[in-house]
Amino acid sequence: MRPEPLTTRGLEEVICYRRGEAVTVRRFLAEAAALAAALPEGGTAVNALADRYLALLAFAAAMMRGQPTLLGAGRPGTPGFWAAAAGYSGAYVLTDLPLPSVGLPVMAVHDAPPVAGGALDVPLIPTERIVAVGTTSGSTGTPRAHPKPWGALVMAADAAAERFGLTRGPTTNLVATVPPQHMYGFETTMMLPLRAAVAIHAGESFFPSDVLAALAEVPAPRILITTPLHLRALLAEGRRPAPLTGVISATAPLAREMAEAVERDWGAPMLEIYGATEAGSMASRRTVRDATWTPYRGVVVQPGVATVPGLGEVLLGDAVQVEGTDGRFRLLGRLADVVKLGGKRASLAELNRALAAVEGVVDGVFVAPDDIENNPAARLMAYVVAPGRSAEAVLGGMRGRIDPVFLPRRVVMLPSLPRDATGKLPRAALAALAAGEAA
């Protein structure tokens, strides 16, 4: 394959809104070149930048320097992530955050460097070069690294831009609640600005007030890039955001009731992306209309495996059922989430959705014991966040929603769950909860 340019955007197009200022592609390229000149000669750049523009700048600068970028599943990374990062040749950290000692050289990037003078060239990047390494969240076990060649990232970004109508027309402005280091955040807020007619909001937008303020700061048209966890908090806030042309969610299937609330209360189409760190984004759907997912151009999803342009065959962690002749498929749940009790099977994800629908429940998760497959007496338990509600009331609310055999033997009430920045619950965090209960 021929090399692909770092960006296909016009030099005067806006790529970011930062501190109330529009940043053009011309300025972005000049600042990326200046940062690239300041990077070490070789090694692996560990991107731990909270400012979304600086994160994008660092990714581009590392590519200009011929270096891959290591992405954590969340920002700035867990102790286990830093230990893994130390195994990469010449690894060093780029950050705008106060970090604890991480055992790696740290380079502070608190603002864009001075703009370099001279001619402005758009670098050509070999499509086979590994430019990023995605890291799984650890929600199903030990985090794993997945190298990403430039060509595969480009094809995925182009397919997403085509699917969501972002290839041309007025620049669409993206506000995101997910870190740029997470694969979903990376694809939407670091790759799309390089390939599609979109600009990103640079600030962190995690709490509802931050998200609403960020949306008000950028001009229309606007799209919110978010997760079910953040959507639940935003809807509970009860305030209507600035007019949106769309809302996109990923990281976990969205409950239809929540999608209906978004479309009813915000007047914007509620869209979902299906993907995984291993394969990237693969398909989408409009939740209120479609129970099935439509693959991106070039993607073929089959039970157990997906064929992804630039990556080839990738094993899937989800059970899928292909429907029709156009490649559409239905998600049946995580393969690791299916539990069997009393001769019946259920998906933990479906049980979690039933739990979330109980009145007063803000958050909750079912947990299966390790010996559930071979211990006839084993039963599920649930951790629940439901201010003002008792465990007995929550359990009563679940009766009639799920098969009695899957009702949790214990319901543990908590003030909050230890979710990461994308709303996932790493297995290590659940293990720590269990250890606390045992103590």
In this prediction, residue 108 carries a pLDDT of: 93
Of 148 and 2, more confident: 148
State the amino acid at position 182 in one-letter form.
Answer: H
Q: How confident is the model at residue 28 (pLDDT cuts 50, 70, 90)?
A: very high
Distance of CA 406 to the CA centre of its chain: 30
Q: How confident is the model at residue 368 (pLDDT cuts 50, 70, 90)?
A: confident
Domains of the chain: 4-332 (3.40.50.12780), 342-438 (3.30.300.30)
136: Cβ contacts below 8 Å, ≥ 6 apart: 73, 143, 144, 146, 277, 278
The rounded percent of the chain whose pLDDT value lies above 70 is 93
In this prediction, residue 225 carries a pLDDT of: 97
Per the CB < 8 A criterion, the answer to whether 21 and 32 are in contact is no
Phi-psi region of 327 (alpha: psi -120 to 50; beta: other; left: phi over 0): left
Q: How confident is the model at residue 133 (pLDDT cuts 50, 70, 90)?
A: very high
Question: Cis (ω within 30 of 0) for the bond into 179?
Answer: no
Q: How confident is the model at residue 186 (pLDDT cuts 50, 70, 90)?
A: very high
Tell me the per-residue pLDDT of 312-334, one tens digit each, with 9 for 90 and over: 999 998 889 999 888 999 998 77
User: Does residue 5 carry a pLDDT above 90?
Assistant: yes
Angle subtended at Cα 428 by Cα 225 and Cα 314, rounded to the nearest 5 degrees: 60
In this prediction, residue 114 carries a pLDDT of: 62
CA neighbours closer than 13 Å in the CB half-sphere of residue 164: 37
* Pick from 241, 185, 200, 97: nearest CA to 423: 185
Q: Which two tokens mark 364?
A: 């909750």
DSSP letter at 267?
-
Per the CB < 8 A criterion, the answer to whether 42 and 89 are in contact is yes
Tell me the per-residue pLDDT of 277-298, one tens digit each, with 9 for 90 and over: 899 999 999 999 999 999 999 9
Q: Which two tokens mark 65?
A: 């320097």
Tell me the per-residue pLDDT of 213-238, one tens digit each, with 9 for 90 and over: 999 999 999 999 999 989 989 998 89
DSSP 271-336: EEEEEETTTEEEEEEETTT-SSBEEPTT-EEETTEEEETTTEEEE-SEEEEE-SSS--EEEEEEGG
DSSP letter at 369?
-
CA distance 305 to 348: 21
From residue 395, alpha-carbon distances to 31, 96, 293, 352, 361 in Å are 56, 45, 33, 13, 11
CA distance 32 to 54: 9
Tell me the per-residue pLDDT of 394-435, one tens digit each, with 9 for 90 and over: 999 999 889 888 999 999 999 999 887 777 787 778 878 877
In this prediction, residue 82 carries a pLDDT of: 82
By residue count, the chain amounts to 439
- Region 49-61: mean pLDDT is 96
In this prediction, residue 77 carries a pLDDT of: 61
Per the CB < 8 A criterion, the answer to whether 420 and 73 are in contact is yes
User: Does residue 159 carry a pLDDT above 90?
Assistant: yes
Per the CB < 8 A criterion, the answer to whether 185 and 206 are in contact is no
